[in-house]
Amino acid sequence: MKSKDIAKAFAVANGANFRLKECDTRDTLGLKSKDHAKETLERGITRLSELQEKLYAQDRWAILVNLQAMDAAGKDSTIKHVMSGVNPQGCQVHSFKAPSQEELQHDFLWRTTRSLPERGAIGIFNRSYYEEVLAVRVHPELLSNEKVPSELISTDIWKKRFEDINTFERYLSRNGFKVLKFFLHLSKQEQKKRFLDRLDEPEKNWKFSMSDVQERKYWDKYMEAYEDMIRNTSTENAPWYVVPADHKWFSRLVVAEVIIDALQSLDLAFPKMDSAKRRELKAARAALKRTT
């Protein structure tokens, strides 16, 4: 299956009609196992490395990857596996946790905007400005920490934030950013299993926090927030990809193939040498040959 076909299978083309319950968290597009997908993923990682080298050399476009998910959906391992073949010089990863006091002194887009990738780079946001319409929406008391004037906090604040985000992403696309957004869609049952694995395996204990269990109480509210977010912010400039995440090996494959498809759409190439540059290289070769 081609990268474009995999991307199309999980892209939200029409946000207005999106229903999260219609998305199967265990879907694998017919692939039966990790071994079955291994060769495809390995080829994808190699292809991604080749395209990233051209992206870096051309120095015109930037790729912004937003990863959003419930805890234990596999964001960290997706970054680790998908980017395993990429030159670190051309990849920047930022993880956004609870905002600092400095960040709370600014608008909700500030802390992520200053971490945008430079041209020629792939930037990955492990969580992002979308937390402002997810965690903050599920826990509206967090708004008070953001010091937003009370007269600006109304029942349509989430609609306004959707509008702000859409405008921001349209601005990015007009300035050479390819914005890719992934929701790693994990079932509540699989999350429970992964949490128990973290408790059972000593090397995974560090990943576990009691707050993870507490957040499960708000599962339905989170699902409602995710659905509304995707409905309102999946656009032609910056589509959402709802990736089945109950099988980590499959979600990694999908993310890799979507990024590959995006890079292929940019017609990337190594910079061509003009006549002046070729003369300069010829002179450099001659000069080097004369040295000892």
* Backbone region of residue 128 per phi and psi (left: phi > 0; alpha: psi in -120 to 50; beta: other values): beta
Per-residue pLDDT of the chain (292 residues; tens, 9 = 90+): 788 999 999 999 888 889 999 999 999 999 988 888 888 899 999 999 999 999 999 999 999 999 999 999 999 999 999 999 898 989 999 999 999 999 999 999 999 999 999 999 999 999 999 999 999 999 999 998 999 998 999 989 999 999 999 999 999 999 999 999 999 999 999 999 999 998 888 777 777 778 888 999 999 999 999 999 999 999 999 999 999 999 999 999 999 999 999 999 998 999 887 888 888 888 889 888 888 7
Q: At residue 292, what is the residue type?
A: T
Instruction: Give pLDDT, residue 13.
Output: 84
Tokens of 32: 């039966």
**Record: fold of 3-290:** Rossmann fold (3.40.50)
Tokens of 26: 């265990």
CA distance 91 to 55: 11
pLDDT of amino acid 35: 86
Closest by alpha carbon to 177, among 219, 120, 232? 120
Dihedral sign computed on CA atoms, order 110, 115, 117, 119: positive
**pTM of the full predicted structure?**
0.92
The H-assigned helical ranges of the chain are 3-10, 34-58, 75-82, 101-104, 110-113, 135-138, 157-174, 188-200, 210-215, 219-233, 248-264, 275-290
For the chain, which residues make up each domain, given as ranges? 3-290
3-state secondary structure of 290: helix
pLDDT at 213: 85
In the block, tokens 């590959």 appear at 260
* C-beta atoms surrounding 252 within 10 Å: 26
Count Cβ neighbours within 10 Å for each residue of 48-64 and write b for 16 or more, e otherwise: beebbebbbebeebbbb
Which residues, other chains included, contact 9 with Cβ-Cβ below 8 Å and sequence gap of 6+? 29
Phi-psi region of 74 (alpha: psi -120 to 50; beta: other; left: phi over 0): left
- Number of residues that make up the chain: 292
List Cβ<8 Å contacts ≥24 apart for 33-37.
33/249, 34/247, 34/249, 37/249, 37/250, 37/253
Place of tokens 């990337």: 268
Name, in order, each residue with C-beta under 8 angstroms of 257's C-beta and a sequence gap of 6 or more: 3, 6, 7, 44
Q: Which residues pair with 206 in a beta bridge?
A: none
One-character DSSP codes across 167-220: HHHHHHHHTTEEEEEEEEE--HHHHHHHHHHHHHSGGGGGG--HHHHHHGGGHH
Q: What pLDDT, on the 0 to 100 scale, is given for residue 209?
A: 78
